[in-house]
């Protein structure tokens, strides 16, 4: 059974900020809600993983994402290739239930950000991360492959 306290992540507009107004969802009786499906649990775990800097959690230096480390590095092809490999390895190790197949990173030097496409067994996640906004997340059911 996959269960966690439910956060107020709203993916309906295609945008989540990692340092936004996150809070737990309350029921009509004031109790804290829990995730109700494996998919809801996994997506929430994925968002939280992206928001945590690798090495930030005490006693678990492997937990979290390396994405933050790369946002302040030059957006070179070599750095993008390394980021792809590290994200894919960490996702497969830390969130195996996401069933990640591939990770593709593309530098957008015009806006000084990294575009990331994560392909899983049944969904594709498109993200855009930059220094000023740190994390935007758009979820799509079909990745068009126009990179």
| CATH number, span 38-140 | 3.10.450.40
pLDDT of residue 81: 97
Domain ranges of the chain: 38-140
Strand pairing class (136-140; 100-108): unpaired
DSSP letter at 59?
T
Low-confidence ranges of the chain (pLDDT < 50): 13, 18-19, 135-147
DSSP label of 58: T
Using DSSP's 3-state secondary structure scheme, residue 97 falls into helix
pLDDT in tens, 123-138: 888 888 887 655 444 4
For residue 52, the 8-state DSSP code is S
pTM of the model: 0.73
């Amino acid at each position: 059974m996959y269960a966690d306290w439910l956060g107020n992540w709203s993916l309906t507009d295609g945008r989540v900020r990692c340092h936004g107004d996150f809070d737990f969802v309350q029921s009509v009786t004031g109790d804290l809600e829990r995730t109700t499906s494996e998919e809801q649990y996994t997506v929430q775990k994925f968002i939280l993983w992206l928001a945590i800097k690798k090495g930030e959690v005490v006693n678990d230096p492997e937990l979290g994402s390396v994405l933050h480390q790369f946002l302040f590095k030059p957006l070179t092809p070599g750095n993008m290739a390394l980021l792809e490999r590290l994200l894919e390895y960490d996702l497969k190790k830390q969130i195996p239930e996401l069933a990640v197949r591939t990770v593709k990173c593309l530098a957008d030097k015009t806006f000084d950000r990294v575009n990331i496409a994560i392909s899983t067994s049944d969904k594709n996640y498109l993200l855009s991360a930059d220094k000023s906004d740190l994390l935007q997340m758009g979820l799509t059911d079909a990745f068009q492959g126009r990179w």
